Chain A
Amino acid sequence: MTDATLPQATVPHDGTDAEARPIFREDRKVLGISTETWPGILAPLGIGILALSAWEFIVWWRAIPPFILPGPLLIAKTLAADWTTLSASLWITLRITAAALIAAVTLGVGLAILFTQSKWLEKSLFPYAVILQVTPVVSIAPLIIIWVGDINLSLLICAWIVAFFPILSNTILGLNSADHNLRNLFELYGASRWQTLRYLRLPAALPYFLGGLKISGGLALIGAVVAEFVAGSGGNASGLAYRILEAGYQLKIPRMFAALIMISASGIAIFLAISWVSHMLLRRWHESALKREN
């Protein structure tokens, strides 16, 4: 290495192999974001702008009527004009999504811990978790709505059913993936079940859990939207899916697109938020969050 900007490592020359410690380079930053991250932001952004321009151009050139395909500019205008109604609905959908995700995390992690403490419990209950997972939520949503009665609770249950399984299955995998010799070590030092769980199995499961959470975040939103479609309830307290149905009936297609964009944007925001949390939790130690230098 001849690069003069690299900081010198300060390690003791004490006869140990301490000098073999890797040196970490500080990233250069523009607007608070590392120069290496910028291409990853600019490239998809450029593609997006290109695609939107092409869309707008085609709609204008072929004079496509808005009730067939509205252009991006019209959608943006509609989004701004209907913001009050749409944002109220977005808030309702997001509340159900968040509640379902919290329930999925609590029950998923809780059950995963129970399952790894007792093989019998896992053997008897896990097949039912699988059944819950493979049953299409669209087909059981009407039943749930009839049985539960309360519409918000029904929606919550539907979204939860969809979001729950990836967390359960990933966390079980993670709890069981603790290094074999580390488990031996804990046994040697007479660690209690609780200590083994707290200091070994839960930290080992963290990357797996976060992987499951990334999937479940999007699924919770999809589950909430699908259940709203099935429920189709009107009134003021309706989620975005109902706004889409309503706009469809009234042929207000730009408004339909606006609602669709809000759902997509929410999904992306949830994914980015969970990815960020995941990166912050794992960046010091997990392979997935490390930059390869070679």
Chain B
Amino acid sequence: MSDAIPDGTPVAAGGRPLVAIRNVSKQFANGTIAVRDVNLDLAAGEFVSLLGPSGCGKSTLLRMIAGLGDPSVGTIDWMGSAHDAWGKPARELGFVFQDPTLMPWATALDNVVLPLKLAGTNRGEAAARGAEMLSLVGLKGFETSYPRELSGGMKMRVSIARALVTHPQILLMDEPFAALDEITRHKLNDDLLRLWEANRFTAVFVTHSVFESVYLSQRIVVMAARPGRVMADLRVGAPYPRDDMFRTSADYAHWCRIASETLKEAISA
């Protein structure tokens, strides 16, 4: 990433956002309004969490940013990307689903290089980049393992490696660690932050955990359900790098309390 960002301060204010979400609403075929009137800017290199109860449309919003389903009303502009002749942006993104979503018939390495293979990268280069990515997520030596031979946390690491192998501008994550045990989740949170600090992609992280969102993010967008809408946009002032020391600090507790109260207000409003 080109911009260097001082820790804890998002780049957005005034600058051109990477993705601009304007008046976006989404109504499903059955009449449910999943998202109503969302306005949001995503700045280059920031770590944003979408925090809210289930049914608040955070996943729907994330999928629309990725281009999986268009908004019913409003626009999502990729300001920082080239557009093709039909006005479709070249979305340079990685997506991590709640499940690892790996191909069971392919090895860890083949799973990681899938985006490169689909883009037509030559085999040798793809394999080299895939192996490098696997070692970055701590899975060196597991290139030829099949998903079933890996634990839940390891599968999720493969999924993250696959999302990052194209060096995307944006990494979109849909409650990626929700199904993992707490110990594994903490490890993966730390590794995710390490990867983010090293590469400074824009991270958008959907979660229903106040603690996880505070630990990871510079900015927490609090959403409420029925209909899904943005209730608050919170800046977490704590500096990076964040580690186990941070997890037990008064600072962390302070921000957790603020986020908790904001979420409570949002839900009861």
Determine how close the nearest CB of chain B comes to the CB of A268; give it in whole angstroms.
Answer: 29
Determine how close the nearest CB of chain A comes to the CB of B96; give it in whole angstroms.
Answer: 10
Q: Does residue B242 face the partner (Cβ distance < 8 Å to A)?
A: no
Determine how close the nearest CB of chain A comes to the CB of B246; give it in whole angstroms.
Answer: 18
- Residue contact A188 to B149, C-beta cutoff 8 Å: no
Query: How long is the Cα–Cα vector from A118 to B56 in the complex, in angstroms?
Result: 36
Interface positions of A (Cβ within 8 A of B):
11-12, 14-18, 20-22, 24, 179, 181-182, 184-191, 195, 199-200, 203-204, 206, 284-286, 290
Return chain B residues, CB-CB under 8 Å to A181.
97, 99, 101
With A21-B149, A185-B95, A285-B147 as contacts: A16 and B103 at CB distance below 8 Å: no
Query: How long is the Cα–Cα vector from A185 to B184 in the complex, in angstroms?
Result: 25
- Residue contact A285 to B104, C-beta cutoff 8 Å: yes
- Residue contact B105 to A189, C-beta cutoff 8 Å: no
Return chain A residues, CB-CB under 8 Å to B119.
189-190
With A185-B101, A189-B119, A199-B117 as contacts: A20 and B153 at CB distance below 8 Å: yes
In the complex, given contacts A17-B153, A18-B141, what are 5 additional A-B residue pairs having Cβ atoms less than 8 angstroms apart?
A12-B140, A20-B153, A20-B154, A22-B149, A199-B103
> Contacting B187 at CB < 8 Å: which of A12, A15, A185, A191?
A15
Return chain A residues, CB-CB under 8 Å to B153.
16-17, 20
- Residue contact B146 to A284, C-beta cutoff 8 Å: yes
Most B C-beta atoms less than 10 A away, residue of A15, A21, A188: A188
> Contacting A182 at CB < 8 Å: which of B103, B154, B187?
B103
Q: Does residue B239 face the partner (Cβ distance < 8 Å to A)?
A: no
- Residue contact B138 to A16, C-beta cutoff 8 Å: yes
Return chain A residues, CB-CB under 8 Å to B114.
185, 189, 199
Query: How long is the Cα–Cα vector from A20 to B145 in the complex, in angstroms?
Result: 13
- Residue contact A195 to B149, C-beta cutoff 8 Å: no
Query: How long is the Cα–Cα vector from A240 to B35 in the complex, in angstroms?
Result: 69
Query: How long is the Cα–Cα vector from A181 to B141 in the complex, in angstroms?
Result: 27
